[in-house]
Amino acid sequence: MKKLFSFLPIFLLLGAINSNAQVFWTENFESGSTSGMEVPSFTGLNGAWTMSTSITTTEGDAPNFWFVTCAEAGHIAGGCGSVCGAGSGELGATLHLGSGTGSIAGADNGASYDAGDGGLGFYNTTTDRRAESPTINCSGKSTINLRFYYIENGQGAVDDGWVEYYDGTTWTLLTNTAKTTTCGGGQGSWAVQNITLPASADNNPNVKIGFRWINDNDGAGTDPSFAIDSVSLSTAAAPPPPPVASFTNTATSSCQDSCILFTSTTTGIVDSVRWTVSPAGATIGTPTSTTSSNICFPLAGTYSVTLTAYGSGGSTTSSAVINVTPTPHPTVTKTLHVLSVPGLYSGYQWYNGTTALSGATNSTFTYTVSGVYSVLVDSAGCPGFSTVINTTGIGNIYTTSENFWISQPNGSTVILNAAQPVGDPLSVTIYDATGRKIIDETWNSGTFSKQISGLSLSPGLFVIKISNTYTSAVFKLLKQ
């Protein structure tokens, strides 16, 4: 989102730099930046930016342009690229290299460039241009540090961006910035760059900083191109060491469909953090929280939870292994009046409907009255309900040609599954413990499953009934 006050990014930038540094020049690309604005039209906090073209290579008839707009939003290190208003933790407008008015892609799509027509002769996007800062007065300054956030990709050294420095007479290369990694949807993952200016910048009133981009017309290349934000010059010493990532967690093992709280104990100067889980499948409450994040595991397995802490001096990681045990859902079998479940569990509790049966705490139960029976079993501290068996004389699901079972991929979704396609439509009704009907839907014939999404259930026991003219069954759903 574009900032309302131009001093906000300065405040953020100051807070991320070594406290011993004295920032004497900044550019956040907010002042005067409007949609579609090209660099020669942009006047920033310290004056007008200019642009040089065809520096060492003659440009084509449809080169890429330098823009200063919100089509590419700035982020601190670790942030994922977005337009303004579409992501989180944005710093506002940026300086970025994008496709020009002569491109079939259209002008200013953020840090997305046109790599050319591959030499077909329709148009030529060969580009060699430098966005140049206004003159910077470094009188009285020495050991000057240049700092900025950026993303960059392209095509090796063919489509490439770098940083140059002007000492009042000559432009020279400062650094060829490394290509940054990508994040969600192929967007650029923002990084931070610190560079000490040459000694010729000390006490020099005629310094400029330039950001240069080149590309050929071969049609090959990968976005993002080159985007820059939050540029500053300071008399900082070397950046501080990177933060030391660390965290605590409330458990090292868990049951399926449960959550663990992870709390950062990272030390040092932290710009930002990111929580990740591998393999995929877990739900991360707040991926960029610098304090804590609640991570939920809807599927059983072994997961690695990693905290990456970013600072002006670099980044470090810390990881922990979490073992998630499956929630048991055994099948009840009936032999005469004896109900049983296979396997060995640490605990059993039989139910008739929603009523726990006193003393019925073994793997088998002999019923004396008809009812709708199930058993809650405990596997290494992970409780789960069995299938439900109906002994009331209503058509039992297990005496038909179909077998049914329930799965819960997450806390708001229930999936009813059938071993064979449903022959006739089934009515699906969910009741809470008081008998109040909360869901009434139809399971269409010819399908193997019925998914009910968007559930907002309070913790407790619920009854799911499926039925038609020929069959009926009742299941228990325990919402923890």
Chain segment 406-448, per-residue pLDDT in tens = 777 777 888 888 767 777 788 999 888 777 888 899 988 888 8
Looking at the structure, do residues 48 and 195 belong to the same domain, yes or no? yes
Looking at the structure, do residues 70 and 207 belong to the same domain, yes or no? yes
Which amino acid belongs to residue 235?
A: T
The answer to whether residue 421 is domain-embedded is: yes
Looking at the structure, do residues 30 and 113 belong to the same domain, yes or no? yes
Which amino acid belongs to residue 404?
A: F
Looking at the structure, do residues 32 and 71 belong to the same domain, yes or no? yes
Task: Reply yes or no on whether the pLDDT at 479 is more than 80.
Answer: no
Looking at the structure, do residues 401 and 299 belong to the same domain, yes or no? no
If 0-12 CB within 10 Å is exposed, 13-18 middle and 19+ buried, where does residue 85 land?
Answer: exposed
The answer to whether residue 1 is domain-embedded is: no
The answer to whether residue 267 is domain-embedded is: yes
- For 390, other C-beta atoms within 10 Å of its C-beta total 21
Looking at the structure, do residues 30 and 70 belong to the same domain, yes or no? yes
pLDDT value of position 422: 75
The answer to whether residue 112 is domain-embedded is: yes
Average pLDDT value for the chain: 85
Looking at the structure, do residues 217 and 360 belong to the same domain, yes or no? no
Looking at the structure, do residues 169 and 111 belong to the same domain, yes or no? yes
The answer to whether residue 165 is domain-embedded is: yes
If one counts the domains in the chain, the total is 4
> Which residue, among 45, 93, 133, 108, has the nearest Cα to 229 in the 3D structure?
93
Looking at the structure, do residues 343 and 440 belong to the same domain, yes or no? no
Looking at the structure, do residues 230 and 277 belong to the same domain, yes or no? no
The values of phi and psi at residue 14, to 5°, are -60, -40
CB 127 within 8 A of CB 63: yes
- Low-confidence winner among 181-190, 235-244, 373-382, 455-464 (lowest mean pLDDT): 235-244
Res. 260 pLDDT band, cuts 50 70 90: very high
Question: By percentage, how much of the chain surpasses pLDDT 90?
Answer: 51
pLDDT value of position 398: 33
Q: Bigger pLDDT: 403 or 339?
A: 339
This prediction has a pTM of: 0.49
Question: By percentage, how much of the chain surpasses pLDDT 70?
Answer: 89
If 0-12 CB within 10 Å is exposed, 13-18 middle and 19+ buried, where does residue 315 land?
Answer: buried
How many Å apart are CA 195 and CA 145, to the nearest integer? 6
Residue at which a domain ends, from 392, 408, 440: 392
How many Å apart are CA 157 and CA 177, to the nearest integer? 11
Residue at which a domain ends, from 178, 202, 234: 234
Would you call the peptide bond into 328 cis, given omega within 30 degrees of 0 as the criterion? no
DSSP secondary structure code for residue 233 in this structure: E
**Residue 333 is part of a domain; what is its CATH number?**
2.60.40.10
Q: pLDDT tens digits, residue range 99-150?
A: 887 676 667 888 999 999 999 999 999 999 999 999 999 998 999 999 999 9
Residue at which a domain ends, from 289, 309, 325: 325
pLDDT value of position 20: 58
Looking at the structure, do residues 335 and 413 belong to the same domain, yes or no? no
How many Å apart are CA 307 and CA 302, to the nearest integer? 17
Total length of the chain:
480
pLDDT value of position 151: 95
**Residue 35 is part of a domain; what is its CATH number?**
2.60.120.200
Task: Reply yes or no on whether the pLDDT at 8 is more than 70.
Answer: no
The answer to whether residue 348 is domain-embedded is: yes
Q: pLDDT tens digits, residue range 53-77?
A: 999 999 999 999 999 998 898 888 8
Task: Reply yes or no on whether the pLDDT at 50 is more than 70.
Answer: yes
Looking at the structure, do residues 227 and 186 belong to the same domain, yes or no? yes
How many Å apart are CA 1 and CA 309, to the nearest integer? 24
> Which residue, among 139, 150, 209, has the nearest Cα to 177 in the 3D structure?
150
Would you call the peptide bond into 243 cis, given omega within 30 degrees of 0 as the criterion? no
If 0-12 CB within 10 Å is exposed, 13-18 middle and 19+ buried, where does residue 473 land?
Answer: buried
Q: pLDDT tens digits, residue range 79-105?
A: 888 887 766 666 788 999 998 876 766
Domain range holding 376? 327-392
The answer to whether residue 242 is domain-embedded is: no
Both tokens of 233, joined, read 């010059």
